[in-house]
Amino acid sequence: MKPQERIAELIDILNEASYRYYVLDNPTITDQEYDKYLRELINLEEKYPEYAREDSPTKRVGGAAVEKFDKVTHQTPMLSLSNVFNEEEIREFDKRIKKEGITPQYVCEQKIDGLSISLIYKNGLLVQGVTRGDGLTGEDVTPNVKTIKSIPLKLTEPIDVEVRGEVFMHKKTLAKLNEEREKEGLPALANVRNAAAGSLRQLDSKVAAQRELDTFIYYLMEPEKFGITTHYDAIMYLRKLGFKTMSETKLVNDIEGVLTFIKRQLELRPNLSYEIDGVVMKHNVFAEQLEIGNTAKYPKWATAYKFPAEEALTRLKDIIFTVGRTGRITPNAVLEPVILMGSTISRATLHNADFVTSKGLKIGDIVAIKKAGDVIPAVTEAIISRRTGKEKDFVMISTCPMCDTSLVKRSGQVDYFCPNDTCPARNINSLIHFVSRDAMNIEGLGEEIVEELYNLGFVKRIPDFYDLKSKKDQILEFDGYGEQSINKILENIEASKERGLARVLFAIGIPGIGSKTAKVLAHRFGNIDALMSRKKEDLENIPDIGNILATNIYEYFQTHQDFITELKNIGINMNEVGGERKENELITNKKFVITGTINDYTRNEIKEILESYDGIVSESVSKNTDVVIVGDSPGSKYDKAVSLNITIWNEDKLKEIFANLDKD
């Protein structure tokens, strides 16, 4: 078979598989088979780029980051929906339609908690994806939209069409994302909508690609072009074109049908993988929709019934404090167990003392709790009218609940910390963190075992793990430890020495360094000595690091040199494993500033290329700058570079250097 034909065949196989998996939720090939075909396609496309097609699944991985999104004016404004909140208001809506002399027939749909998107296809190929924006003008987020697997890159018919629908994030995806964010020391995203919106507006489509967004399409523009006269038929046609539409779409003939649909959705809601916040009812017949008309903001032929916010009342029995591995003290609400959206809640984080005081919570209060984004339970308020006078004021503790050391609060921060490096709570949690899956991944060492080894005195500090083999006989004397399981654990501990720099950097628990930042550092520096010898200013200029993290890293290594030497002596590999590092003497470890317009590259492209060779790009020129890259109409940075006698590269020089990089 000719390469062009094989490429076409592979694209068809992969797109079909993707459609079955992401749209129909009915996979027909295994992940391994999919990956095998995809690798074959990637290889062929690399060899024969002239045959790469726009609908190839390789276009879904995300490309270079952009600096900002282009604004796009919608051909037809993207309207919003009016809201109704109870049965009476639903009936009033129905009456208003009947008043127009129209017999209503409603399509009932779920109201998806996401954000709306417009997708434009030309000749059956996806050419543009635009956010709603203010309804008149949105942002062109095409590269991000292409990463959403349920959006077809090619339709089953070669038509020109605009469709609209909702982009959303599954509840599980948000939970996973928040788990990762917590590890990185970032605040949790409050709900699926914010998370989806933030993901769709990522300037770097590679990041958007990791967010696993999904869609439901519910609107076909210019249906008359396709001879379609009702909304229900439009949905069927969208489905035929390859779009993912809601399976809960029901045509009913009267308001009773709408009420039954609402009841059903309330029952389904807790078990859905995605979040719905109501039900949308739309009059079915397009010609009559036109008669009923729109206001400037929303159609008068449709409305959204919004579910009451899911809230529950329960008693705040106590506020207890936990100590994290960095020493951070978190107040937690101990609640009378209560069921909210299908799960029992008995604990909720209260974040910090300021949060508790700002809500005026007292122990013994009846409090309202809500699930933020239906994932994290949150205490929203105290019900003052239910107070009996027996409630107790909240008092922030001043000493660590584990080791009694006086807590400290750094200026400008809301959190209190236990400053005691030998605090057992801190130590146990740092040991648990060290062996955890994303860190050194030492299987067999679960939280309970680590805690026990700590309490028995076998492991007090990280290096002790690696000395456990010499204490095997002593450990065996304790109940519950069999020789085989100890041997397995000891083997796993030995194997962990080869995890490499990124995992070590994450595992040792430098404040604020999550696994992602650890990977960035490992990739950039390659080994721990290169990282430890850096000045704070150098660290600050690394993308994603910034001032606070740079200080943390710098201070950590200033104070932990002996500890790092100890780990090295144990034989822990402190080099980056895997991942190839690129070097170039003109770029690697040199500091760059870019000024003026370069014609053949965007600033981001230049930055990306320099950074891929571990060059450091910063904003302002100083005597530490090695090279200033100067384009057309440069600013004062150019004058400063001249006055400081700094090497200058113009566009030609830059192109020459970049061209030589490709030959390496």
Closer of 167 and 367 to ligand IVH (Cβ): 167
Contact 526, 576 (CB under 8 A): yes
CA atoms within 13 A on the CB side of 139: 16
Closest approach of ligand IVH to the CB of residue 78, in Å: 7
One of 80, 137, 332, 604 touching ligand IVH (CB under 6 A): 80
Say whether 485 sits in a helix, a strand or coil. Answer: helix
Q: What is the rounded CA–CA span in Å between residue 5 and residue 344? A: 56
Nearer to ligand IVH by Cβ, of 279 and 641: the residue is: 279
214 contacts ligand IVH (rule: CB under 6 A) = no
Distance CA 453, CA 440 (A): 17
Q: The tokens of 590 are what?
A: 């040199």
Give the C-alpha separation, 228 to 234, whole Å: 6
| Residues 250, 106: Cα–Cα separation, whole Å | 8
Q: How far is the CB of 113 from ligand IVH (least distance, A)?
A: 7
Q: Specify whether the CB–CB gap between 248 and 273 falls below 8 A.
A: no
- Position among 19, 106, 121, 218 found at the interface with ligand IVH (CB under 6 A): 218
Long-range contacts of 68-72 (CB under 8 A, 24+ apart): 68/203, 69/139, 69/140, 69/141, 69/201, 69/203, 70/139, 70/140, 71/133, 71/137, 71/138, 71/139, 71/140, 72/128, 72/130, 72/137, 72/138, 72/139, 72/140
Using the contact rule CB under 6 A, the part of the chain among 78-86, 411-419, 496-504, 560-568 near ligand IVH is 78-86
Q: Quickly tell me which residue has 């970049």 as its tokens.
A: 658
Per-residue interface string for the shown chain with ligand IVH, residues 310-349, x marking contact by CB under 6 A: ----------------------------------------
Nearer to ligand IVH, 116 or 199 (CB): 116
Give the CB-nearest residue to ligand IVH. 116
The residue among 250, 255, 252, 219 whose CA lies nearest residue 237 is 219
Taking the complex as a whole, the smallest distance from the CB of residue 209 to ligand IVH amounts, in Å, to 22
CB nearer to ligand IVH: pick between 112 and 621: 112
Given the complex with ligand IVH, which of 96 and 607 has the nearer CB atom?
A: 96
Q: In this chain, which stretch among 74-82, 343-351, 619-627, 630-638 interacts with ligand IVH, using CB under 6 A? A: 74-82
In angstroms, give the least distance from the CB of 115 to ligand IVH.
6
Provide the CA 455 distance to its chain's centre, in angstroms: 37
Residue 280 is a binding residue for ligand IVH (CB under 6 A): yes
Q: How far apart are CA 255 and CA 618, in angstroms?
A: 62
If the CB atoms of residues 278 and 509 are measured against ligand IVH, the closer one turns out to be 278
Query: Nearest Cα to 303, choosing from 314, 311, 292?
Result: 292
Q: Which residue, 112 or 378, has its beta carbon nearer to ligand IVH?
A: 112
Q: C-beta of 79: minimal distance to ligand IVH in Å?
A: 4
128 interacts with ligand IVH by CB under 6 A: no
- Give the CA angle between residues 242, 247, 252 to the nearest 5°: 120
Q: What is the three-class DSSP state of 579?
A: coil
Residue 595 Cβ, how far from ligand IVH at the closest point, in Å?
A: 42
- Of the candidate spans 141-149, 220-228, 297-305, 388-396, the one that interacts with ligand IVH by CB under 6 A turns out to be 297-305
CB 378 within 8 A of CB 371: yes
Using rule CB under 6 A, residue 166 touches ligand IVH: yes
Least gap, CB of 84 to ligand IVH (angstroms): 12
Residue from 38, 107, 304, 319 in contact with ligand IVH (CB under 6 A): 304
Nearer to ligand IVH, 116 or 147 (CB): 116
Stretch that binds ligand IVH, among 53-61, 296-304, 447-455, 581-589 (CB under 6 A): 296-304
CB of 274 to ligand IVH, least distance (A): 11
User: Is 130 one of the binding residues for ligand IVH (CB under 6 A)?
Assistant: no
Name the minimum Å distance from CB 341 to ligand IVH: 19
Minimal distance in Å, beta carbon 138 to ligand IVH? 11
Instruction: Scan residues 96-125 and list those touching ligand IVH (CB under 6 A).
Output: 109, 111-112, 115-116
- Alpha-carbon distance 108 to 232, whole Å? 10
Of positions 81, 513, 520, 564, contacts ligand IVH by CB under 6 A: 81
Cα(450)–Cα(467) distance, integer angstroms: 14
630 lines the binding site for ligand IVH (CB under 6 A):
no
Terminal Cα-to-Cα distance of the chain (whole angstroms): 34
CB closer to ligand IVH, 215 vs 625: 215
* Cα dihedral 610/613/617/622 (nearest 10): -110
Member of 17, 141, 234, 302 binding ligand IVH (CB under 6 A):
302
- Count, residues near ligand IVH per rule CB under 6 A: 15
Cα–Cα distance measured from residue 234 to residue 218, given in angstroms and rounded to the nearest whole number: 8
d(Cα 407, Cα 414) in Å, to the nearest integer?
A: 13
Supply φ then ψ for residue 333, to 5 degrees: -80, 130
- Which amino acids are annotated catalytic? 111
Site residues (vs ligand IVH, CB under 6 A): 79-81, 109, 111-112, 115-116, 166, 218-219, 280, 299, 302, 304
